[in-house]
């Protein structure tokens, strides 16, 4: 059998997009994925989102090291181990990020990744299906593989949340993925015809329908490098270790956790750390595994005074009813992730674009499926977008089967604590607006007794959770930047024939959920591989004219 031109390690958000684009351009592609099939209702039904990310069948099951600033807690770090990767187990929320995020990337050394450069790729990947519901059609893509929709927003609490934001003096935006991110408005989701529209459905399955794209289930152990060039991947499948060879390039797209691990196992990383594990050094890149970032959030939960929340379905009979309706019609509550209203706001004057995100949910429940004891309730997930804290991913050993050591170093600066206190106080103010008067009975958490800085800090320490947005561990930068891992063409610095394309290359975490920018990376890097590019689009994004002097 002839070796493929390209091997992609990881059938996740970026990997699936690259497989599609390379195969479409008549290149031969082999995708290596350790996880299995995404068939089954627990992945495909949007409302079942809390299940797959807590199942060993679909999730790598990573945990952080004890976090010293969060009382020594270990936080779950789910990553998809299934075709579609984390796009098959995530919350399906679709956020591009703010224009200012990508301009910052370019300023940090990722030339060619400014907002004007990446906007054409966001448009190419999208099939935006709500052109008749407000929003900015000029800023959106209509014919891409990735369907983006909005939930029905039929629960009155979704309207109340946006109206409360307006009453509190904030902007309202019809399309946070369009010209104006800042404000309160509808949230978007990667759902199509009632199904999770993962990158497996959008990109990989159409790619595999071509003769020049194939998929193999195997655990990638290391990149095979000969004379300074990546020539293949050593994998284990069916209990046998073998080498799969590539004619042109190996592309690592294994996640912000597994990509740095694979590079280090292959001899690419901090020389001293690799030597500690007896790994022969191919390229001394001290930035591999460093610069780990994430979004941390808390749930501000309110008890509802009316039985209008999704809690009425939070029982065996209710879940069976929703499941049956979805199974037979593809409609009903099962067809939405329930995140249907959102907001992006600025924490204070002098911040040029939003640094706080809200997900609003018409039930008081955690990601692990535990509901509030009070029964009917609703919640806002809130957290700062640009924490200054940085962590790392390092090896525990040279055994490819051993999970890496993940240390986020959450809340390690005073700025983190100030920003989080602000998040909680601003959220309380929003829930105190007249729009919520018919619906609120009391605050469940943090609880009315939690008021002082010290009390709020204690709540954060005990209750902050990851939003599951790890990134940045192999950051992109100038080729002469000693801490950069890949150059602006996503080529691993110091090794020929090797690229890396997933959320690990983000120089800094963007606003919002990371699935959309991860897919965009796959789209754009595929064009770098094919030596082509889309022309920049110089649309002017909205920044508040009052940002220097006012918080809202």
pLDDT of residue 438: 97
Q: Across residues 486-512, what is the average pLDDT? A: 98
| pLDDT at position 331 over 90 | yes
Intervals of CATH 3.30.410.40 along the chain: 153-186+293-389+412-463
| pLDDT at position 375 over 90 | no
**Alpha helices, DSSP H, located in 37-143:** 41-44, 99-107, 115-125
Tokens of 355: 């640094």
Catalytic residue from among 34, 147, 376, 469: 469
pLDDT of residue 54: 86
pLDDT of residue 39: 92
pLDDT of residue 136: 83
pLDDT of residue 371: 72
Query: Is 469 assigned a catalytic role?
Result: yes
| pLDDT at position 134 over 80 | no
Tokens of 77: 């770090």
| Residue positions forming the annotated binding site for FAD | 82, 90-93
**CATH, range 1-151+189-290+470-539:** 3.50.50.60
pLDDT of residue 440: 97
pLDDT of residue 50: 86
| pLDDT at position 19 over 70 | yes
| pLDDT at position 373 over 70 | no
pLDDT of residue 82: 97
Tokens of 292: 């780990």
Q: Across residues 492-511, what is the average pLDDT? A: 98
Cβ atoms of 460 and 453 within 8 Å: the answer is no
Q: Which residues contact 64 (CB under 8 A, 6 or more apart)?
A: 74, 75, 76, 77, 406, 407, 408, 466
Q: Which residues of 142-161 are buried (b: 16+ CB within 10 A; e: fewer)?
A: eebbbbbbbbebebebbebb
Tokens of 64: 């952080």
pLDDT class of 13 with cuts at 50, 70, 90? very high
pLDDT of residue 366: 74
Q: Which fold has domain 153-186+293-389+412-463?
A: Cholesterol Oxidase; domain 2 (3.30.410)
pLDDT of residue 132: 54
| pLDDT at position 524 over 90 | yes
Q: Across residues 307-330, what is the average pLDDT? A: 91
pLDDT of residue 135: 72
Q: Across residues 153-182, what is the average pLDDT? A: 97
pLDDT of residue 466: 97
pLDDT class of 508 with cuts at 50, 70, 90? very high
Query: What is each CA distance from 37 to 87, 203, 370, 498, in whole angstroms?
Result: 13, 15, 27, 27
Cβ atoms of 356 and 381 within 8 Å: the answer is no
| pLDDT at position 528 over 90 | yes
Q: Which residues contact 142 (CB under 8 A, 6 or more apart)?
A: 126, 127, 128, 131
pLDDT of residue 367: 66
pLDDT tens, position by position, 438-447 = 999 999 999 9
Average pLDDT across the chain, whole number: 96
pLDDT class of 133 with cuts at 50, 70, 90? low
pLDDT tens, position by position, 44-96 = 999 998 889 889 999 999 999 999 999 999 999 999 999 999 999 999 999 99
- Among 503, 186, 140, 150, which Cα is nearest to 344's? 186
pLDDT of residue 137: 84
| Residue positions forming the annotated binding site | 82, 90-93
């Amino acid at each position: 059998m002839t070796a493929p031109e390209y091997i992609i390690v990881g059938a996740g958000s970026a990997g699936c997009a690259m497989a599609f684009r390379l195969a479409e351009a008549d290149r031969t592609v082999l995708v290596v994925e350790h996880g299995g099939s995404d068939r089954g209702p627990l992945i495909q039904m949007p409302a079942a989102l809390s299940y797959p990310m807590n199942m060993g069948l679909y999730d790598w099951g990573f945990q952080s090291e004890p976090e010293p600033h969060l009382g020594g807690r270990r936080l779950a770090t789910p990553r998809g181990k299934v075709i579609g990767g984390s796009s098959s187990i995530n919350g399906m929320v679709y956020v591009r990020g703010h224009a200012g995020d990508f301009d910052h990337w370019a300023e940090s050394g990722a030339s060619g990744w400014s907002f004007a450069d990446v906007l054409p790729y966001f448009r190419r990947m999208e099939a935006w299906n709500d052109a008749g519901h407000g929003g900015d059609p000029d800023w959106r893509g209509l014919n891409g593989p990735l369907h983006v929709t909005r939930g029905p927003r039929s629960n009155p609490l979704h309207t109340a949340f946006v109206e409360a934001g307006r009453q509190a003096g904030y902007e309202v935006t019809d399309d946070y993925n369009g010209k104006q991110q800042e404000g309160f408005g509808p949230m978007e989701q990667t759902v199509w015809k009632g199904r999770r529209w993962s990158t497996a459905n959008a990109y990989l399955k159409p790619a595999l329908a071509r003769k020049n794209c194939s998929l193999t289930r195997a655990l990638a152990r290391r990149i095979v490098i000969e004379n300074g060039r990546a020539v293949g991947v050593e994998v284990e499948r069916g209990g046998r270790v073998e080498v799969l060879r590539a004619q042109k390039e190996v592309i690592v797209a294994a996640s912000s956790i597994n990509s740095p691990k694979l590079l280090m196992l292959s001899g690419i990383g901090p020389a001293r750390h690799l030597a500690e594990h007896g790994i022969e050094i191919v390229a001394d890149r001290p930035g591999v595994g460093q610069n780990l970032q994430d979004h941390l959030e808390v749930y501000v939960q309110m008890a509802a005074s009316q039985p209008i929340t999704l809690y009425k379905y939070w029982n065996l009979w209710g879940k069976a009813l929703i499941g049956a309706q979805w199974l037979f019609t593809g409609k009903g509550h099962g067809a939405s992730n329930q995140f249907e209203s959102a907001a992006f706001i600025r924490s204070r004057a002098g911040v040029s674009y939003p640094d706080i995100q809200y997900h609003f949910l018409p039930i008081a429940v955690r990601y692990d499926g535990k509901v509030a004891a009070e029964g009917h309730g609703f919640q806002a997930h809130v957290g700062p977008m640009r924490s200054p804290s940085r962590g790392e991913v390092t090896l525990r050993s040279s055994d490819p089967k051993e999970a890496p050591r993940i240390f986020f170093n959450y809340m390690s600066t005073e700025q983190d604590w100030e920003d989080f206190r602000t998040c909680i106080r601003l959220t309380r103010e929003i829930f105190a607006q007249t729009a919520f008067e018919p619906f609120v009975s009391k605050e469940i958490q943090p609880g009315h007794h939690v008021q002082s800085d010290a009390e709020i800090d204690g709540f954060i320490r005990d209750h902050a959770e990851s939003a599951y947005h790890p990134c940045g561990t192999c950051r992109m930068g100038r080729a002469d930047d000693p801490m950069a891992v890949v150059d602006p063409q996503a080529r691993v610095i110091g090794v020929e024939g090797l690229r890396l394309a997933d959320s690990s290359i983000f120089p800094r975490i963007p606003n919002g959920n990371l699935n959309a920018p991860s897919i965009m990376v796959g789209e754009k890097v595929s064009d770098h591989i094919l030596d082509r590019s889309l022309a920049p689009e110089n649309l002017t994004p909205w920044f508040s004219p009052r940002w220097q002097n006012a918080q809202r």
